[in-house]
A and B are shown apart, each in its own frame.
Chain A
Amino acid sequence: MMTPGTAVKTFTMDGKPFSATEEETILDVARENGIDIPTLCHLEGILPTGQCRLCMVEIQGSGRLVPACATKPEEGMDIITDNPRLRNYRKMIVELLFSERNHICAVCVSNGHCELQSVAQRLGVNHVRFAYLHPRFMLDGSHPKYEVDHNRCILCGRCVRVCEEIEGAHTRDLRNRGIRTMVITDFDTPWGESPTCTGCGKCVHVCPTGALAEKGKSVAEMAKRRHFLPYLAMRRRGGK
C-alpha cells in the first residue's frame, strides 16, 4: 500500500519494471535489486557529484548518458544499465585512470583491497590502450599517523567531501587544472602542519585507492573501514 501523497515513480530498467521513491536515484534502485553498476566516486553518506562517470547509464530513445548516482528516475523512463557501448565506455574510463598516474599494484599499500583494482578486474580491463602519462607527484608524509601518495590518487573527491560534509573541517580541496589537479591540505600546507585537520582519518578510510593510507600498516592491515559513514551522515541530519 502506498502512503497517500508519496510520489512513487515507475519506470523500466533493462526491460524490467521498477519503482522508486522521490529520494531514490537510479543507482539506489539498481543496488536494491542486485543490478551491478560500477562506481568510484560515489559513497553512501556523502553527496553524489557524478564525476568519475563510471556509473553512466543510457536513457533509451534519446541515447543520452546520465550518471546513475545522481539521477532520479522519472516516470516512464526506460533505462539501460548495460550494453556494449556502456561496457566499452566503462572500460575506457578505467583504462584512462590507469594511464593517468602510477598504478603498479604490486608495490601499493592497497594491493588486494583497492576499489580501482577491483573495478578493473570486474570490468575485464586486461590492457590499457592509452599511453602512460604518470606525472610525478611528491609524497606527503608529514602527518604523524597518515600519508598521502598523489601518484595513486584518482581525484574521486571522496576525501574532500567527507572532510567537509561529515567532519565539517574542510581541510581538503583541490588545486591546479587538468592532469596536474591534486588534492591539497588547507592552502597547500604539509598535512602534518594543518591547523584545521582533526586527525580523524575519515578521508583515509573513504579513499578508494592507496592514495591515503595509515602509516606503518602492512598491506594486509590497510583495509579501509567505512561502515561508520551512513551512520554519521544520518546523525548529522539529526536522525537517531
Chain B
Amino acid sequence: MTNEELLAISEKEQELQQQVRYRIMVCSSTGCLSSRSDEILAALEAEVKQRGLENEVLVKKVGCLGLCAAGPIVSIQPDGILYKEMTPEDVPAILDRLGGEPLEEKRIDTHQPFFTRQKKNALENAGVVDPERIEDYIATGGYAALIKVLTEFSPSEVIQEVQKSGLRGRGGAGYPTGLKWSTVAKAEGEQKFVVCNADEGDPGAFMDRSILESDPHRVLEGMIIAAYAVGANQGYVYVRAEYPLAVKRFRTAIRQAEKMGFLGQNICGTPFSFKVDVRLGAGAFVCGEETALLQSVEGNRGMPRLRPPYPAQSGLFGKPTLVNNVETYANIPAILRNGGEWFAQTGTEKSKGTKVFALTGKVKNTGLIEVPMGITLREIVYDIGGGVPDGRKFKAVQTGGPSGGCIPEELLDTPVDYESLKALGSMMGSGGMIVIDDRSDMIDVARYFMEFSMEESCGKCVPCRVGTVQLYNLLGKFQRREATEEDLKTLEELCDLVRSASLCGLGQAAPNPILSTLKYFREEYLAKIRKSTPVEEA
C-alpha cells in the first residue's frame, strides 16, 4: 500500500459518505448496546429502507459518544444533533424530523460544557467512525501516519518525535513513552515484542475498553508504529475476556489491516514485517502489572516478578519487550501525523496532551471524557460532570482506582497532572474518577477499595497477601465502632509496611485509599473510635 493508494481509498470513502444527505450514527459501545442500541440500529435501517431513503440517509454504527448516562445516543450529521435515551419506537419520529425541527424532548444540548470543555485525541474518532470498517478509519486520515513513518522516518526519528511530544504512559505510572521506546530500541536482540496492555481492571474504569470498541484501528496503528520504532516483529494485545466486543472488533481490525498490507510481511512494500495476535486474560487485576501480564501471555500463572530486569531488557520469553497501555498507543498516530510539538502544545509543563477519564459516581453527567491535562478537578466535576445531582453535597473525588485516593472539596482546584495528583496522595492511575457525595462514609469507601485489593492480591508476598486482609478487618472494626486508639496506630503502621515492603505495585498502592482518607477525613476515623477505653469501663 502506497500513500496514493491510501488517499484513493480515503477519497472514495469520503465520497460515499458525502453522497448521502444525512448520516445517522448509533452508539454501539457496550454501554449503549446494553440498553438496546442494536435494536435502534436495526429499526433505523429497516425504516430507512421502507421509506426508500437509502440514497439519502446512511445509517452507521459508531463507537462511544461519551455521555453514557444518557444512552442510547444517536447522532445526526451534518446537522450536529444528538438524541438521548432513544428507543426503537422513536425511530419514525426522528426520520420524520430529518432536516426540520429536531425532536426537542430527546435532544441533548451540545453547547453545554460537557461537550465544549473536552478536547479529543485518543477519542477523536469515537462516535464518528464505524469501528468495524477500516475504510472509515482511513477516511479520517488513518494509517497515513504509518505510511509516512515507514517511508520517511528512521526508527530513531520516530522515537525522537514521541520524545518531543512528551507523551507519558496512560496505564497509570506515567513513565515517559519515548524513553521507554528508546530503551527497547537499544536493547540487544534479534527478536523483540510489542505488547498492548488492555487488561483494565480498576473498578469503575472503562476507558481502554471504549477506545478498543470505538476505534481499534487507531490502537493497532499505534502498535505498528511502535514496533517499527523499537524493531519488534511480533505484537500481542492482552485483553480481558470480559471485553468480548472489544476483542471481536480488535480481531476484525487485525484481519482488515492484514488484507490491506499494514500487517504481515514487508509492510507497505518496505522491509519491515510485523504480526499481531490477541491474548485473552481471565480477568485478574494483577495481570495488568506488566511482569504478571507477560507471565500470563507466556501461558503461566500471572504473578509479578521482581524488577529489574525490566521488560525492556528481558520481557516476553526473555526478549526485550515494549509494554504500553491502549490509550498510550491511541495517542501515537496523531503525534506522528501532526508532529510531537503539536501534541506538546496541550497540557502542562510535565504532563502533555489529553487524558481520558471514566467519570462515574454521584455526578450528573457520567460517562467517558477526554480533557486537556492541567484542567482542574473542579472543572471536571462541576462543569463537565454537571455537579452532584439530587441536591446533595460534594464530598470527595476518588481518582486512580484502587491504587489512588480521595481528594476533598478544598483541593478541587488542583490541576489534573501526574505530579499534582501524586502530591495529594492519590494518582492519575488509568483514569477512573468516582465522585462521592455527603451520603458516603469515607471509611466505607476505603474499605471497598481494600476489599478489592485483598481479593485481587496474587498471594505471592506476605505484606500484600496478609496485610491487606488485616487492613480490611481493621477498617471493619472502625465501621462497627469497636476500634481503639491502638487500632488506629496499627492501621497506620500496617499501611506503611504494605506500601513499602510489597513486591509489586498492587500491594505498594493498596493502602492509598486508607492513607488519603486518613489524611483528609481523619475526623471520621476518630469519631468511630470507641470513646470509653476498656480501662475506664473497668
User: A70 in the interface, Cβ–Cβ < 8 Å?
Assistant: yes
Residues of B within 8 A of A70 (CB): 306
Cβ A131 vs Cβ B462 within 8 A:
no
Residues of chain B with a CB closer than 8 A to A163's CB: none
> Which chain B positions have C-beta within 8 A of A180?
459
Known A-B contacts A93-B497, A177-B457, A179-B459; the reply to A155 vs B465 at CB < 8 A is yes
Identify which of residues 132-148 in chain A touch chain B, using a CB-to-CB cut-off of 8 Å: 133
Q: How far is the CB of A205 from chain B (nearest CB, A)?
A: 23
| B501 close to A89 (CB less than 8 A) | yes
B-contact bits for A51-91, CB 8 A (1 contact / 0 none): 11100100000000101001000000000000000001100
Q: Does B39 contact A (CB under 8 A)?
A: no
Known contacts A65-B500, A177-B457, A178-B455: A133-B301 contact under CB 8 Å:
no
Closest Cβ–Cβ distance, residue B285 to chain A (whole Å): 9
A50 to B503, CA, bound (A): 8
B438 within 8 A of A: no
Determine the chain B residues whose CB is within 8 A of the CB of A178 once the complex forms: 454-457, 459, 465, 468-469
Distance between Cα atoms of A96 and B457 in the complex (Å)? 15
Q: Digit string of A144-180 for contact with B (CB within 8 Å is 1, else 0)? A: 0000000000110100000000000000011011111
Q: Do B470 and A177 touch (CB < 8 A)?
A: no
- Residue B214 at the chain A interface, CB threshold 8 Å: no
Q: Within 8 Å CB of A52, what residues of B?
A: 461-462
- Are A96 and B463 in contact (CB-based, < 8 A)? yes
Proximity bits, B489-519, A CB within 8 Å = 1, else 0: 0100110010011110000000000000000
Is A181's beta carbon under 8 Å from chain B?
A: yes
Is the Cβ of A179 less than 8 Å from the Cβ of B465? yes
User: Which residue of chain A is the closest to B490 with respect to CB atoms?
Assistant: A129
Give the interface centre of A88, A97, A178, A180 by most chain B CB atoms within 10 Å.
A178
Are the C-beta atoms of A155 and B459 separated by less than 8 Å? yes
Q: With an 8 A cutoff between CB atoms, is B173 at the interface?
A: no
Q: How far is the CA of A115 from the CA of B493 in the complex (A)?
A: 25
A49 within 8 A of B: yes
Q: Would B470 and A53 count as touching, CB distance under 8 A? A: no
- A92: CB under 8 A from chain B? yes
Bound complex: CA of A51 vs CA of B466, how far in Å? 13
Name the residue among B306, B458, B462 with the largest chain A CB count within 10 angstroms.
B462
Q: Determine the residue in chain A with the shortest Cβ distance to B285.
A: A177
Are B501 and A96 neighbours in the complex by a CB distance under 8 Å?
A: no
CB atoms of B463 and A93 under 8 A apart? yes
State the CA gap A174–B303 with chains docked (Å): 10
A214: interface (CB < 8 Å):
no
The answer to whether A99 has its CB under 8 Å from any CB of chain B is yes
Flag whether A130 is at the interface (Cβ < 8 A): yes
Provide the residues of chain B in CB contact with A65, threshold 8 Å. 500-501
Instruction: Verify B469–A179 contact, CB threshold 8 A.
Output: yes
Which of A67, A88, A96 interacts with B466 by CB under 8 Å? A96
- Collect the chain A residues with CB atoms within 8 Å of residue B186's CB: none
Nearest CB in chain A to that of B461: its residue: A51
Contact residues in A for B301 (Cβ distance below 8 Å): 173-174
Q: Which residue of A lies closest to B304 (CB)?
A: A51
CB distance from A9 to the nearest CB of B (A): 15
Check B268 for interface membership: any CB of A closer than 8 A.
no
Q: For residue A23, give the distance in angstroms from its CB to the closest CB of chain B.
A: 15
> What's the nearest-Cβ distance from chain A to residue B521, in Å?
24
Q: CB distance A181 to B306 under 8 Å?
A: no
Contacts A65-B501, A133-B466, A178-B469 given; does A51 touch B460 at CB 8 Å: yes
Instruction: Please report which residues of chain B, range 310-354, place their CB below 8 angstroms from some CB of chain A when the two chains form the complex.
Output: none
Docked complex Cα distance between A89 and B497 (Å): 6
Q: In the complex the two chains form, is A97's CB within 8 Å of B466's CB?
A: yes
Complexed CA–CA distance, A154 and B462 (Å): 9
Residues of A within 8 A of B455 (CB): 177-178
**A130: chain B residues within 8 A (beta carbon):** 466, 470, 490, 494
CA distance A56 to B458 in the complex (A): 20
Contacts of B466 in A (CB 8 A): 96-97, 99-100, 130, 133, 179
Known A-B contacts A173-B301, A177-B458; A50 and B497 likewise in contact (beta carbons under 8 Å)? no
Residues of A within 8 A of B35 (CB): none
Instruction: Given A51-B460, A179-B466, output 6 extra A-B contacts at Cβ < 8 Å.
Output: A49-B306, A53-B461, A65-B500, A97-B466, A131-B470, A178-B454
Sample (8) of A-B pairs whose CB atoms are under 8 Å apart:
A50-B461, A52-B462, A53-B463, A92-B494, A92-B497, A96-B470, A178-B469, A181-B465
A contacts, CB < 8 Å to B? 48-53, 56, 65, 67, 70, 88-89, 92-93, 96-97, 99-100, 129-131, 133, 154-155, 157, 173-174, 176-181
